[in-house]
Amino acid sequence: MIGLISATAAGATARDRLAAAWPDRTRVYEGPVGDAVRAAFAECEQLVCFLATGAVVRLLAPLLADKRTDPGVVCVDEGGRFAVSLVGGHGGGANELAVEVGELLAAQPVVTTATDAVGVTGLDTLGFPVEGDVAGVSRALLDGEPVALDAELAWPLPPLKVSANGSYIIHVSDRAAEPGEREVVLRPPSLVVGVGASKGAPVDEVVGLVESAVRDAGLSLKSLAELATVDAKSDEPGIVGAARRLGVPLVTYSAEELAAVEVPNPSEAPLAAVGTPSVAEAAALALGGELLVPKRKSERSDGRPAMATCAVVRRLARGRLAVVGLGPGARDLLTPRAKAELRRAAVLVGLDQYVDQIRDLLRPGTLVLESGLGAEEERARTAVAEARKGQAVALIGSGDAGVYAMASPALAEASDDIDVVGVPGVTAALAAAAILGAPLGHDHVSISLSDLHTPWEIIERRVRAAAEADIVVTFYNPRSRGRDWQLPKALAILAEHRDPGTPVGVVRNASRPDESSRLTTLAALDPATVDMMTVVTVGNTATRDIAGRMVTPRGYRWQEVAE
């Protein structure tokens, strides 16, 4: 919950805007400001104070205890100009909250955390525990000192500016070894514990079994990702309570799914009870991995039979491939999600000219693998191969990555051994349409006139079908130096079914500094004025030139009424 505190009418106005926008996330604290801040600090995960920073500092000072547990605090000035991340930038999420508040209130977010200020990945922002000399190693990263990465586990980390050797070390491990001087250990969520339990098994018995199994294997409980069991035990209080106490989700599988998992220690007892010869081992191994601790039973001090079993598996690290659409070129048409994925990627793969567009958005330490025109399949293979190494990879393309871009060759190469995320982008057709007016107001189709990958016979059949169906057509790749006859041929096919005065929109370099556009007609368009940087949109029989804008009505009946 986010506590909202204000002292003046202006602050209350901005406060109420946040409360209205986030009704399920916020709580307004009324009354004397000091009392309100103290109450919100004790009850909320985050605070937004519409007060002077000096006043907030004095109110917070006696309350601060530990940056790992204190709420994140954002301070907004009376004029609503700035949203300042004041306390708990990383641990309390104040940096992200300042950005969110800034977007909602049109205020400038102010983030002074050193790593954020220079774009270096903060070790305490990775989403899993970190132990050791976090401040010292972070300072070394900031100062450009050599920091070595010792990754016992391959895990899709964000970019870290590391060297082969260094006096500072970042370990990636789920083992219980303590970090030494100038070292940190990142604890990725690599351990899955399968659990079985008799009806009525106490929570303490299940928790004690899990903790001892992990510790005895020399592993860290901070790398525990989840407990897993059979569906029939999904509401068993001892198992549910254990997951809650350990702070991890409980994942369940059907008896049929678990019965299909090969395990070293099957048993008749669970087969008779829940329909599978293994619960603990099978649940832990359900999604694959390395069995580190075979099935073991709990030990009871009262001498009674054990009521719980568990097994520990190290899950296989899965690489992450984000296929990112960069939009048509303008920075303000690059989506926030695309920006976030670019900053998250440790490896970036893309066409050299597209890499140049967004190079300034990459974090220090990002490995950039760029190539020239005509290497789409090679880039797709490279991106998938890097993801299979356990890396966090971004594969970029212009417009939307799924439209004449990199998504299809990448997904043709990828299998289910990596995670794939699609990030949509503004396509060239949409960018051009916004410039022209509303040419895509009814059914429309995009057709590439490049026959480098598609035989012309197929392209011609598609153009003819669109012409006969009276569909608005946007032509990609309309004309190049070596392909100068396809556009005239396509226009001739459309002319068999449409009036010579049918509006045609021509947009070159949509959304870029040298953008140009014009509205002409099917009869008047000169194909020689078109090149590969151009998008050509041909209207249907209902499309009109209205005040210099290309407009296709949403329905033919509307057009009839207008006439």
110 phi, psi to nearest 5 deg? -120, 115
| Tally of CB atoms within 10 A around 51 | 21
The yes-or-no verdict on residue 457 having pLDDT over 70 is: yes
Cα dihedral 328, 331, 337, 343, rounded to 10, equals 120
User: If pLDDT is split at 50, 70 and 90, which confidence band does 561 have?
Assistant: very low
Digit-coded pLDDT (tens) for 68-117: 788 889 999 888 888 888 888 777 888 888 888 888 888 888 887 756 65
The yes-or-no verdict on residue 372 having pLDDT over 90 is: no
The yes-or-no verdict on residue 534 having pLDDT over 80 is: yes
**pLDDT for res 118:** 58
The yes-or-no verdict on residue 58 having pLDDT over 80 is: yes
User: In the predicted model, what is the mean pLDDT of residues 447-468?
Assistant: 94
78 phi, psi to nearest 5 deg? -60, -35
**pLDDT for res 119:** 62
- What is this structure's pTM? 0.76
Digit-coded pLDDT (tens) for 67-77: 778 888 999 98
CA separation for the pair 250, 434 (Å, rounded): 48
CA separation for the pair 183, 134 (Å, rounded): 8
**pLDDT for res 475:** 96
User: In the predicted model, what is the mean pLDDT of residues 428-448?
Assistant: 95
Digit-coded pLDDT (tens) for 123-157: 777 778 888 888 888 888 878 888 888 888 888 88
Are the CB atoms for 394 and 322 separated by under 8 Å? yes
Digit-coded pLDDT (tens) for 17-32: 888 998 888 889 988 8
| Local structure of residue 316 (DSSP, 8 states) | P
Going by C-alpha positions, the residue among 186, 203, 175, 210 that lies closest to residue 283 is 210
The mean of the pLDDT values for the chain is 89
